[in-house]
Structure 1
Amino acid sequence: MPTVSIITITYNAERFLERTIQSVLAQQVSDFEYIIIDGASKDGTLDIIKRYESHITTWISEPDKGLYDAMNKGLHLAKGEYVWFMNAGDELHDPQTLSNLLTRINATQADVYYSDALFVEEDGSPVGLRSQITPHTLPHNLTWQDMALGMKVCHQAFVARKAIAPDYPTNNLSADLDWEIRCLKAAKKIEFLPFVLCKYLIGGLSVQQHRRSLIDRFKVLVTHFGFLPTVRNHIKILLRAKRFEKQ
């Protein structure tokens, strides 16, 4: 059984998929499996997958019910002790990233590992660390209660033990927030990593459908924190955003 399952979700991702695959292949260890779940792409995505097929443990291409349905497929196929989602366009930060992660896993056996994420443009140029260019400061002793004001950790910088990882709700654009909260609730040990896990390509699905993602985020937070606390916290979120814009 591999220690880590790296899972990539794709749909019409020919512009960005290769950079993701190459970042996985650049890793200097072999204790992982690589899974690609494609939603029956109509562009050149499958050509890219087939070009690297010998380096991919498992891949499927079939219609799905959206991003989080595809992520559930990847989760169900994963054989690793830990799962790590790295979607098309995102990258492992550097060739030592997985080796560094495995060193920590072997040493501490935590249920969740997390770090900062480097935001990058479409051409790969760096924008900055998420904790520095967004209002989301990154606590070094993360708990699920820290998510009351939104998603503290970028999804691609969050690695969870598969045994505690639930399915994603498939009808909510903030399903990754819900998933992280549920993982944190179930985790007995959570560890901050002092190195960056990923490069995150800005402009994903939730950005493209921003208004609905905000409504869905509200629903997720109500589920975990209650209605009135979530209303109060959203006032804090708005005030925080305004303060951050003035900096």
Structure 2
Amino acid sequence: MFSPRLSVVTIVYNNVRDIERTIQSVINQTYSNIEYVIVDGLSNDGTLQVIDQYKSQITKFISEKDGGIYDAMNKGLALATGDYVIFMNSGDEFYDNETVAAVFAAAEDADIYYGETEMIADDGSSLGQRRHKAPAKFTWRGFKYGMSISHQAIYIRRSLAEPYDPRYQLSSDIDWIIRAAKKAKKIVNVNRYVAKYLVGGMSKKKHRQSLMERFEIMKQNYGLIPTIFNHFVIAFNLGWYWLKNRRTND
């Protein structure tokens, strides 16, 4: 039976409200071959006290100052020793307790596994499926119209996972996934919800910077002219999405 070791990495800084939900989502998985790594940015709001309650179920833990989210994620990646790695940062969750088992039962020995994501509001209520639905088939070219797979919904063979590029402060996860997907030979859609994503984060608060970084990443991977054209398509799709949903809600 295919049961590779999965490194689950959680990055947290001063998030006492959500960290326990994320930890429980990981430790309650029915799949047993999990290495759990938590990287804390020197929290001082009670987060560390919550983590301490679960220390016997956490494989590796560090708490130290970092240079931002992707620096912290690189620390987590360096600590990971599993066959595969996934980032489930504070506030995010596996979709249910069977998720990891179902992902690896979908197919053996893939380079990347991915699935669908449910969005969650601050109060814990469901906001439904992401606007970018996970594609039926995914290649490295698949992000040219936007990030169609969320960061919490993608399992990458650790040997393909390079460090995050520190040049990007908000959108390095897109670049990271594209680089891994370029090297992947076998990418599997598990055809189920695999993650719950807490809406918000820095990329929403600094939306302009995030968009500029995304444009630069896409330009590097897909070329300048195609990226400009693709952004017209993205703008059209976004406008159509809001118009359609406004009609539905009216």
TM-score by length of 2: 0.93
Deviating beyond 3 angstroms after TM superposition, the runs of 4 or more aligned structure 1 residues are none
Contact persistence 1:39–1:62 (CA under 8 A): yes
Match of 1:238 among 216, 235, 238: 235
Report the CA distance between 1:29 and its aligned residue. 2.5
- 1:160 corresponds to which residue? 156
Report the CA distance between 1:140 and its aligned residue. 1.2
Q: Provide the C-alpha distance between the structure 1 equivalents of 2:108 and 2:190, rounded to a whole number of angstroms.
A: 12
Unaligned 5+ runs, structure 1: none
Q: Provide the C-alpha distance between the structure 2 equivalents of 1:63 and 1:90, rounded to a whole number of angstroms.
A: 22
Please state whether the residue corresponding to 2:193 is helix, strand or coil: coil
Which runs of structure 2 are paired with 1:1-247 in the superposition (5 Å)? Answer: 3-104=5-106, 107-130=107-130, 134=131, 136-172=132-168, 173-247=170-244
Contact persistence 1:82–1:162 (CA under 8 A): yes
Contact persistence 1:13–1:88 (CA under 8 A): yes
Contact persistence 1:2–1:79 (CA under 8 A): no
Report the CA distance between 1:79 and its aligned residue. 0.7
Q: Provide the C-alpha distance between the structure 2 equivalents of 1:31 and 1:101, rounded to a whole number of angstroms.
A: 13
Report the CA distance between 1:234 and its aligned residue. 0.9
Report the CA distance between 1:102 and its aligned residue. 2.9
Contact persistence 1:9–1:38 (CA under 8 A): yes
- Corresponding letter in the other structure for 1:246: L
Report the CA distance between 1:103 and its aligned residue. 2.1
Report the CA distance between 1:40 and its aligned residue. 0.9
Report the CA distance between 1:196 and its aligned residue. 1.0
Q: Provide the C-alpha distance between the structure 2 equivalents of 1:32 and 1:182, rounded to a whole number of angstroms.
A: 24
Report Cα offsets for 1:124-143 as digits up to 9, x if no partner. 1111011xxx1x23211111
Q: Provide the C-alpha distance between the structure 2 equivalents of 1:26 and 1:112, rounded to a whole number of angstroms.
A: 23
- Corresponding letter in the other structure for 1:128: G
Q: Provide the C-alpha distance between the structure 1 equivalents of 2:117 and 2:31, rounded to a whole number of angstroms.
A: 21
Contact persistence 1:2–1:33 (CA under 8 A): no
TM-score by length of 1: 0.95
Q: Provide the C-alpha distance between the structure 1 equivalents of 2:65 and 2:123, rounded to a whole number of angstroms.
A: 29
Note the aligned Cα RMSD (angstroms).
1.2
Figure out how many residues of one structure are paired with residues of the other and give that number: 241
Unaligned 5+ runs, structure 2: 245-250
Report the CA distance between 1:171 and its aligned residue. 3.0
Report Cα offsets for 1:103-130 as digits up to 9, x if no partner. 23xx421000000101011221111011
- Corresponding letter in the other structure for 1:171: R
Contact persistence 2:115–2:193 (CA under 8 A): yes
- Corresponding letter in the other structure for 1:114: Y
